[in-house]
Structure 1
Amino acid sequence: MGCAIIGCGKSLPALEVRNDELRALVDTNDEWITTRTGIKSRHIAVSESNADLGEAAARRALGWMCGGFAECRIDAADIDLIVCATVTPDAVVPSAAGLLRRRLGLTRAVAFDLNAACSGFVYGLTVAENMMAASAPSTAGAAGRNPVRRALVVGSERLTRLTNWSDRNTCVLFGDGAGAAVLEWDDARPGIISSYIVNEDDATNALTCAMSFDAPQPFDENGISHTAARSDDPGLARTDAELGITELVEAGRPRQTLYMSGQKVFKFAAEAMTVAVHQTLQRANLSLDDIACVVPHQANERIIKYAAKKLGKPMDFFQLSIENTGNSSAASVPMALADAYAEGRIRPGDKVVLVAFGGGFTSGAVLFEA
């Protein structure tokens, strides 16, 4: 018995920006970007919100719109849980999942957000599967828990809103989009067979993005102060120092933007991805020969090539969707999963590994049978 994926869908913003168009912003070109990343274009949300993208992906996964994979149409009343993985929600309150609950009319669902950066969707699947298993009728103590029979897990991002478009080393990498999956507890199917999630400290600040708080605060160390209400938040100074961006912010660089050391991230990601795949297979007593394909986080084609070499598998063993999406953080894996279904790469009975890595550092994998 297990937690089966019975639907998935994706959504991309209308605006597609090709590599050569970025020459208007930074010193770059198509050849430079393509050879280093595998990216040819990315989609940028200009008028679409995070919720707009997530809603469209969810509707396809639920079988309410064409363009996705859905074993059947799921009624709104049959969704018990919504987990939204994102680092770019439209609001702090309500949550991105709460907005989706309201828009989709999922009135029975418990809804909350999860931030594990680019690994968010894999973490979200793991959380949802554990909640479903804990409340399954055959589980001891299930009667005392909220029953979760069907869940909606969404990864939705507007990562380009955190992108520094004057930094040629990072701005070429990122894009926006959303992906979603519907899970169902089914006693007759294996579903999710194993999972593995892990965190490591990003001790060298290889990938960071600070928050900016701009609401005036009429206080200083001595109490109420009207002059303090017009000053910057001094509490951010410690965070800037901890993230190693003090000098950059003081020099005028934006605080709430992505700062990345590409070499350090590459080193972490390549190792983390291979470890996560091996650990997930080991927990299931399976090997790569038992797997139909691997759907990895689409951060950089070079990272996937490195992992393919380490795993001893050809590149066609991996789902590649990065060419026209770029790195879309938590939306990356579910969008690539939707592509794999659309391309006929996943058939009933196939075993598939989803694997991701992200800032924090986070990494993990999920092994499921379709």
Structure 2
Amino acid sequence: MVFLTGIRIAGTGRYVPPLTADNNDFAAFLDTNDEWIRSRTGIVTRHISDGEPSWHMGLEASRQALEAAGIAPEQLGLIIDTTITPDYSTPATACVIQRELGAVNAMAFDVNSACTGFVCGLDMAARYLATDPALSYVLVVSNENLSRVVDYTDRSSCILFGDGAGACVLERRQGLYSAYMAADGTGASSLYANGNRRTCRFATGEHTYPEDTDPRGDFLRQDGKAVYRFATEAMPRAVQQVLDQAGLGTEDIDLLIPHQANLRIIETAAKKLKFPMDKIMVNLEKYGNTSSASIPIALDEAVRSGRLRRGQRVCLVGFGAGLTLGAVLFEY
């Protein structure tokens, strides 16, 4: 899908909890070490929530994005939140952030596309902006409290994840915008975390909760090999799709910002694309995998460091549980 009406990122922001855990902290209670984690993932440290709600992290990132955009909360017409670790089943996290911001004129809802969430949210925002002339600004915010669902006895997964939030304010602009979204539900069991599994058979009068046969069953579970195979295929496929739709080549991308899952995944996908690593934003060594928050955190860091400048073409690409994948290409 290519729009003649594109998007402009008016402002970005990010927030990470002050508490950090480096690889040696994990080695203190797991059979692992710093070299083992670095060589397999590229991760050195990650930020861990010390009780901050998901909405609070998203709120702080959103305030930064609004400040950078130079707009008041009342100017927002829509808030899209992409968390997979909400504080409540209902209301939507976006509604809590709307309240705290004082964005009284904004509609608000949540999206769950796991690590692809920010890309999906941004694409939804682009579609709203393209079809609603009364809409001026959209806030897309991703906030993840993955420490809530990580099993810290599982060495293969717990070392990967961190907490944090990223946000951006979008507005309408004429120009390049290409997007590709896809899903493969046959791989849903490759990466999952159980939700509320309680059942209540009201019709038969059995109003009891069954025993949980797996005391750790609500933690995040993943088939590492299956996820790796999917990710190393999904990332180059999604990027190539948006390029083909726009009639461009990899040489036309100034900066590629992928989901920060694992350095090996990014390097393997880059080789398949024949895309140089020096044009890829990688910051997972500082944050680990923050699911849907990883791309907007990296985006904000790229903007504030001057690595991404006005007029440059940027491609954002995500892949994750679902299984889902998506990419967007536009001019910053």
- TM-score normalised over the length of structure 1: 0.85
1:351–1:368 CA contact under 8 A, matched in 2 = yes
Separation in 2, partners of 1:315, 1:40 = 19
User: Are positions 1:176 and 2:169 aligned together?
Assistant: no
Aligned to 1:27: 31
* Contact 1:25–1:165 under 8 Å retained in 2: no
Matches within 5 A, 1:209-358: 209-213=193-197, 217=200, 219=201, 222-223=204-205, 225=206, 228-229=207-208, 231-232=209-210, 250=213, 252-358=214-320
Within 2, Cα distance between the matches of 1:169 and 1:47?
24
From 79, 83, 88, give the equivalent of 2:85: 88
Specify which of 37, 43, 54 is matched with residue 50 of structure 1: 54
The match for 1:140 is: none
Q: Deviations over 1:257-290 (max 9, x none)?
A: 1111111100000110000000011111111111
Distance 1:220 1:295 in 2: 48
Q: Please state whether the residue corresponding to 1:5 is helix, strand or coil.
A: strand
Structure 2 contact 257–299 (Cα < 8 Å) conserved: yes
Q: Work out whether residues 187 and 323 of structure 2, in 8 Å CA contact, stay in contact via their aligned partners in 1.
A: no
User: What CA distance in whole angstroms lies between the structure 2 residues aligned with 1:204 and 1:78?
Assistant: 38
Compute the displacement of 1:222 (Å).
Answer: 2.7
The code of the aligned residue for 1:222 comes to T
**For this pair of structures, how many residues does the alignment match?**
328
Structure whose alpha-carbon radius of gyration is higher = 1
Contact persistence 1:353–1:367 (CA under 8 A): yes
Q: Deviations over 1:305-363 (max 9, x none)?
A: 00111111221110001001110001011001011112211111100000010101000
**Residue-by-residue CA offset, 1:194-242 (whole Å, 9 max, x unaligned):** 111001123472111111345x95x56632x5xx43x327xxxxxxxxx
**Partner AA of 2:305 in structure 1:** E
Counterpart among 199, 208, 215 of residue 183 in structure 2: 199
Q: Does the 8 Å CA contact 2:257/2:315 hold for their aligned counterparts?
A: yes
AA at the equivalent of 1:205 = S
Q: Superposition pairs for residues 28-177 of structure 1, below 5 Å?
A: 28-63=32-67, 70=68, 72-136=69-133, 147-177=134-164
Residues 40-98 of structure 1 deviation map (CA, whole Å, 9 limit, x = unaligned)? 011110121101100110011111xxxxxx2x411111100000001001111211000
What displacement does 1:255 show?
1.8
Contact 2:187 2:322 in 1 (8 A): no
8 Å CA contact 2:188, 2:322 repeated in 1: no
Q: Call closer, same or farther: CA 1:204–1:104 in 2, change over 3 Å.
A: closer
Please give the alpha-carbon distance, in whole angstroms, between the structure 2 residues aligned to 1:268 and 1:27: 27
CA contact (8 A) 1:299 1:327 kept: yes
Displacement after TM superposition at 1:367 (Å):
0.6
SS in 2 for 1:165: coil
Q: Report the equivalent of 1:208.
A: 192
1:203 to 1:346, Cα distance in 2 relative to 1, 3 A:
closer
Kindly indicate whether the alpha-carbon contact (under 8 Å) linking 1:212 and 1:255 is maintained by their aligned counterparts in 2: no
> Which residues of structure 1 form unaligned runs of 5+?
64-69, 137-146, 234-248
Separation in 1 of the partners of 2:232 and 2:75? 39
Q: What amino acid sits opposite 1:11 in the alignment?
A: Y
Q: CA deviation at 1:25?
A: 2.6
Q: Which residue of 2 aligns with 1:13?
A: 17
Structure 2 residue aligned with 1:244: none
Corresponding letter in the other structure for 1:158: N
Partner SS for 2:186: coil
1:59 is paired with a residue whose SS is: helix
1:17-40 Cα deviation digits (max 9, x unpaired) = 000111233111110100000000
Which residue of 2 is the match for residue 141 of structure 1?
Answer: none
TM-score using structure 2 length: 0.95
Gaps of 5+ in 2: none
